[in-house]
Amino acid sequence: MLAQRTLKSLTKAVGVGLHSGQRVELTLRPAAPDTGIVFRRVDLPEPVDIPVHATAVSDTRLASTISSGGAKVHTIEHLMSACSGLGLDNLMVDITAEEVPILDGSSASFVYLLQSAGIVTQNAPKRFIRVTRPVEVREGEGRSLKWARLEPYHGYKLSFEIEFDHPAVNSTGQRVEFDLGSGNYSREIARARTFGFTKDVEMMRSRGLGLGASMDNAIVVDRYRVLNSDGLRYDDEFVKHKILDAIGDLYVIGHPLLASYTAFRSGHALNNQLLRALLEQPDAYEVVSFDDEKQAPRGMAELAPAW
Ligand SMILES: [Zn+2]
């Protein structure tokens, strides 16, 4: 049987929220089979659980926010991406503020934390959402066109294209393809950092966003070039971060996908609309598990590669 996975032991992290600038502590804990990923706001008078689900996503301006009752957690996508990349099904995330810490701006720190705590299999079949016919969402036209699509595929692969007409981005790759079954998530995707343009900083700060952003947790780009003194971690780090985000955005559906995802200039909002469009069409997907690991797509049984 291809089994569900959780952590072996608990692990903690401390950092600041990218948008709130607030100090926050995370405790990542093992969870029982079929729990999924659940955030618990432990700073509230009564702790509130916020189970991750596509319909729990309540705000997608610059980051993905989930809510339950009046309680929220912002910027969940990099931690969700790490969980997806490592094939982790069940996890409790105790959090002391309303935003996940940004750490180094990528998912590499989360991958390191989760792998250090250890990942164990559980006595329950891992459930996948297998896409059985194409589903697509679109927004805008001409130069503002964006779209994202899911199609049937025996595995999970992603293809993302950005179109930033900017000298610092033009010189890097604007399209990337990645197959999660390759086992290379930690090495090829996890280290890609979030990025921001100095021209947007003032606008963001006036809206109370980006207050924790710095060159320690983001690639910062002015009108012409990358300002970080050590440059980029990958030649195509910008589009790789968009794939990292998409992997996290899509994992809020609660199960790993078996699908091919293709996107052009998509973001948190459109990625979430795509999941909702899929869930609204029960004939476009089915929930499957594998009694025999050999029937599972390549790489799915051993998704927790070493560095
Ligand atoms: Zn991101």
User: Is 268 assigned a catalytic role?
Assistant: yes
User: Ligand 1 mean position to 124 CA, how many Å?
Assistant: 31
Q: Is the pLDDT of residue 299 over 90?
A: no
Classify residue 20 by its DSSP letter. Answer: T
How far does residue 290's CA lie from ligand 1's centre (Å)? 32
Average pLDDT over residues 176-187: 94
What pLDDT shows up at residue 34?
96
The whole-number pLDDT of residue 168 equals: 84
Report the C-alpha gap between 251 and 257 in whole angstroms.
Answer: 8
Average pLDDT for 203-207: 86
Residue 208: Cβ within 10 Å count: 10
pLDDT band per the 50, 70, 90 thresholds, residue 304: low
* Nearest alpha carbon to residue 93 among 178, 10, 156, 153: 10
Reported as a single tens digit per residue, the pLDDT across 55-105 is 889 888 878 999 998 899 999 999 999 999 999 999 999 999 999 999 999
| Phi, psi angle pair for 202, to nearest 5° | -60, -45
246 Cα to the center of ligand 1, angstroms: 8
| pTM of the full structure | 0.95
